[in-house]
Amino acid sequence: MAVPIRTAVAGLCAGLVATLLITGPAQAEPPHDQVWAVSTSAHTPRARISLDDTTGTLSLAVSRDGRTVIEPSPVGIVTEQADLSKELRFLHRKDRRIEERYRTKSGKRLDRTVRMNETRLSFATTAGARLDLVVRASADGVAYHYVLPAGHGDVLGETSAFTLPPDASAWLSTYRPDNEGQFVQYTAATAPTGAYSPQALFATDGGYTLLAESDLTGAYSGARLTHDQGTGTYRVKLADDRVRTDGSLSTPWRAMVTGDLATVTRSTFTDDLAPASKVRDTSWIRPGTVLWTWLAGGREAGQSLAAQKAYVDYAAERGWPYEAVDAGWYFKPDEWDTTDPNWQTNSWMPELVEHARAKGVGIIVWIHQRELDTPAERAQWLPTLERWGVKGVKIDFMDSEAQSMLQWYDAILKETAAHHLLVDFHGSTIPKGMQRTWPQVMTLEGVAGEEKRTNTAAHLTALPFTRNVIGSMDFTPGAFQRVGLRPNSDAAETGLAVTYESGLQMYAGTPESYDARPLARAFYDQLPAAWDDTRLLAGRPGQEAVLARRSGDRWFLGGVYAGAARTADVPLTVGPGKWLVETIKDGTGGLVQDRQVLRGGDTLRVDVVAGGGFAGIACPWRPGLSTCHR
């Protein structure tokens, strides 16, 4: 849960903050100046909100160090009762400083510090309809949302949009309800006409900017971006033509994560915007690595108790804390005998859970969303899984961000927390702050992951700067047996378990494929699934991504590259002193390992094959130290 350090609200302190950091009108209704700015310091992102005196329309622009991040872009919302995108007049402003510390159970780093300035601008139409525009700015982003009083009626849409310079580089994913599109590079203007994922990355002279959402719940509707080729404008379109409302409304945050590429990659801005944890006791929530059996054995393995016990035994030998049982382990609904106390399963799941418990392994089970669709179904399934001792659920095939499905998410999040079940969502939305509010959510798919057979190396190198910025991503690396079905080398595949962050890092290989690659297997044996810190060592979206993640005093390294073979030069910016660095790379006969001692800040040189990469560990060096493995 968040622990406030200080929250300064309207009054003397807020007035002083506003005087120093927020320019604009000092009186309630200034006669000429209709411009407000919000930032935390001179060198951080600066939001500029403007009210056109003639049309009464609002726009918002973002800059950093005087350079363009987002050009002036429309702001507004339309309801049944009023068009709150035009003919607005300014009423008043309220400012406050937000400072918080909170701790998560998974993610890029466990301990988080939040420092934001917030400005709340109140407007009204000539007919008296009210709109509050709330804008927040931090060192790594700008966000805004709308607050409406009761009586505004259902929401019919937003006029919100983001306008980029036409020549801005853009990495976009064609919109899909399951968020499983590939990221492709365009410019802002040349991207084809169509709908795109709301998580879109742009590069301007002000640095990189990732568009995102936060605090999306069943009170509203999910969004996508729509674009007409030839322009740099990306408009917000809701999943529902009508968003049902009851009483007052605070819409989700429209967020712009911005800074240099390292800042964007490391950012927790969308989590920082989200509500504090609603789970009081989080002691049962434990991230970890998982042996996942679907790509290893498919439905046939899911139907076999003997196969699942063998997978559990392998996970136990490796020290991997979880094993996931995918589709096939329970009967179809029309085959259930509800007079049987084990009616949800073909009766062997409790036996498997007990076998795994004795070995120190927790069981995660796959389940289709349709089995959990109603309160009655959830009341049958969730207590039963908890009683058996199942540790978590992988829920699949939501495939929607419509308001009705988001309301289902609201229910299942509350109920899985009550039954102490970890959660992995597939065919799903993306986190959007969910993991701060509901820390039992260890990971979500929402990505074109390892199961896809059309992924490109460029897509793999774009993900750390796009989808994985938002929160944990269940890409399921480690599918070594899928040679020819994945675009990368074995060394790159090994490193993906670090390059991609996931609170449940599900390894997608077969035991035989790990045993055939003992260096990769030993590397996976060392990997945690929760991190004390994350740093980008080198990166260009669509070309290369090298990340370092710290656990204790060790840094784990993962690099993935697109294009031709090369010698990669990676700055070892993991701290001062000497470091023993072990790297796993592709050799002529398979994976090979190098060891060298480098100083912090030195260049780590790694030979990379075409579509390749590497994995590594850096630990503080001392005389006589021969390995980073423990």
Q: Is 451 assigned a catalytic role?
A: yes
Going edge to edge, which strands form the sheet with 83-84? 83-84, 77-79, 155-158
469-482 burial code (b ≥16 CB/10 A, e <16): bbbbbbbbbbbbbb
Q: 79 near 153, Cβ under 8 Å?
A: yes
- Which of helix, strand or coil describes residue 109? coil
As a whole number of angstroms, the distance between CA 528 and CA 540 comes to 26
The maximal CA–CA distance of the chain, rounded, in angstroms, is 79
Q: 618 near 628, Cβ under 8 Å?
A: yes
Q: 179 near 195, Cβ under 8 Å?
A: no
Going edge to edge, which strands form the sheet with 288-292? 441-444, 422-425, 392-396, 362-368, 322-325, 288-292, 504-507
- Long-range CB contacts (within 8 A, 24+) of 33-39: 34/90, 36/93, 36/119, 36/121, 38/117, 38/118, 38/119, 38/135, 38/136, 38/137, 38/142, 39/117, 39/137
Q: Is 396 assigned a catalytic role?
A: yes
Catalytic residue among 140, 215, 271, 396: 396
End-to-end CA distance of the chain: 33
Non-local (6+) Cβ contacts of 16 within 8 A are: none
Residue that has been written with the tokens 């309220």 in this structure: 94
DSSP label at residue 24: S
Non-local (6+) Cβ contacts of 421 within 8 A are: 382, 385, 386, 390, 391, 392, 393, 440
As a whole number of angstroms, the distance between CA 116 and CA 99 comes to 7
- Identity at 519, one-letter amino acid code: L
Catalytic residue among 33, 313, 415, 451: 451
Q: Which residues participate in catalysis according to the annotation?
A: 396, 451
